[in-house]
Amino acid sequence: MSLVRKIRAFWLKLERYDKFLTAASFLFLAVIGIALIFYQAPYAPDQFFVFAGLVAFVIGKGKKFLRDWTPPILLILAYEYLRTLIPQINPVVHYLPMIDFDKFIFGVPPTIALQHLFYSAGALHWYDYAASFLYYSHFVIPLLVAFAFWLRDRLLFENYVFTIVGVSFVGFLTFLLFPAAPPWLAGLNGFLPPVTHITDIVSRHLLGSLALPTVYAVFKSNPVAAVPSLHMAYATVTAVFLSKKFPKWTPLFVLYSLAMAAGVMYLGEHYFFDVLTGVIGAGLAYWGVHALFRNKAVENLVDLPVEL
């Protein structure tokens, strides 16, 4: 049976009502996520759990949602809580290794070069907003992708979401052993020429802020959790899984991960060193979860029903 016939056969099996619910559910969560970014309150995992859980109950999958989503959400929240304790456990902050590495590779840290080329003090450009939007989508896009997988392929969902959990804890161990300052903080402390924290400037031009209830309100921030870049790690994991599921769209997913890399460096949030270690962390988590689950769900997608 050809691929086109497989897709057509799968689509014809769905009732019209199921098609509508699937599309409406994903659209609802996507619109909320995008709106929250503009209000500087992008999805926290617990907030997404509430919104997505509401959708799941409406479409008759409430129990399944609670069973499948509760463990990974609790693990992510546990990681976030543990991360806030790091400054009390290891107060030593590293500034120079990332700078030295970037200078060795490029001659000048990419953050300095990119801001020199593209940033204009006192004037925000479209790419400042685009990079910031991508940065703030740190949790939004992975959670939406996880929800899409969950709706149609539980096995792929489990591999994906636990890889995200795995890379989070890889990050936690690195943050604990090697607290590292981002470029904007290094600039403030004289280790680099002045670095503009562009995300802060962009945030002042957004629609305001929403203080939605979240357990993150009791978590303290940790500004020296820069190595590895989890923004890059999550983007890499997402690009890999989407490429395995939809191979014809691989260039688009690769472009997404590359845009994340360029964006976090340009904004002053990460060095190239952070980005590189984020990719390495993503690889470790990917293969670790694959070994743990002991299946070929990601590599062997012949029988999976959807491919574009």
Q: pLDDT of 152-205, one tens digit each? A: 888 899 999 999 999 999 999 999 999 999 999 999 999 999 999 999 888 887
Q: What is the pLDDT of residue 70?
A: 93
Q: What is the pLDDT of residue 255?
A: 96
For residues 57 and 307, what is the distance between their CA atoms, to the nearest angstrom?
A: 27
Q: What is the pLDDT of residue 54?
A: 86
- What value does the mean pLDDT of the chain take? 84
State yes or no: pLDDT of 308 exceeds 50: no
Q: What is the pLDDT of residue 300?
A: 46
Q: What is the pLDDT of residue 107?
A: 95
Residue 308 lies in a domain: no
Which CA distances in Å does 112 have to 5, 82, 119? 52, 32, 10
Residue 305 lies in a domain: no
Residue 300 lies in a domain: no
State yes or no: pLDDT of 140 exceeds 80: yes
Residue 298 lies in a domain: no
* Whole-structure pTM value: 0.84
Residue 302 lies in a domain: no
Q: How many domains does the chain have?
A: 1
What are the structure tokens assigned to 277, written together?
Answer: 């270690």
Q: What is the pLDDT of residue 307?
A: 42
Q: What is the pLDDT of residue 46?
A: 81
Q: Does 122 or 216 have the greater pLDDT score?
A: 122
| HEC-encoded secondary structure of the chain | CCHHHHHHHHHHHCCHHHHHHHHHHHHHHHHHHHHHHHCCCCCCHHHHHHHHHHHHHHCCCHHHHHHHHHHHHHHHHHHHHHHHCHHHHCCCCECHHHHHHHHHHHCCCHHHHHHHHHCECCECCHHHHHHHHHHHCCCHHHHHHHHHHHHHCHHHHHHHHHHHHHHHHHHHHHHHHCCECCHHHHHHCCCCCCCCCHHHHHHCCCCCCCCCCCHHHHCCCCCCECCCCHHHHHHHHHHHHHHHHCHHHHHHHHHHHHHHHHHHHHCCCCCHHHHHHHHHHHHHHHHHHHHHHCCCCCCCCCCCCCCC
| Sign of the dihedral defined by the CA atoms of residues 194, 260, 274, 88, in that order | positive
Residue 85 lies in a domain: yes
Q: Which tens digit of pLDDT belongs to each residue from 36-66?
A: 666 666 667 888 888 888 888 888 888 999 9
Residue 96 lies in a domain: yes
Q: What is the pLDDT of residue 3?
A: 42
143 is in which domain, residue-wise? 3-293
Residue 132 lies in a domain: yes
Place of tokens 């604990």: 176
Q: What is the pLDDT of residue 45?
A: 81
Q: What is the pLDDT of residue 212?
A: 66
User: How many other CB atoms are there within 10 angstroms of residue 144's CB atom?
Assistant: 20
Average pLDDT of span 209-219: 67
Average pLDDT of span 219-248: 91
Average pLDDT of span 248-274: 96
For residues 22 and 20, what is the distance between their CA atoms, to the nearest angstrom?
A: 5
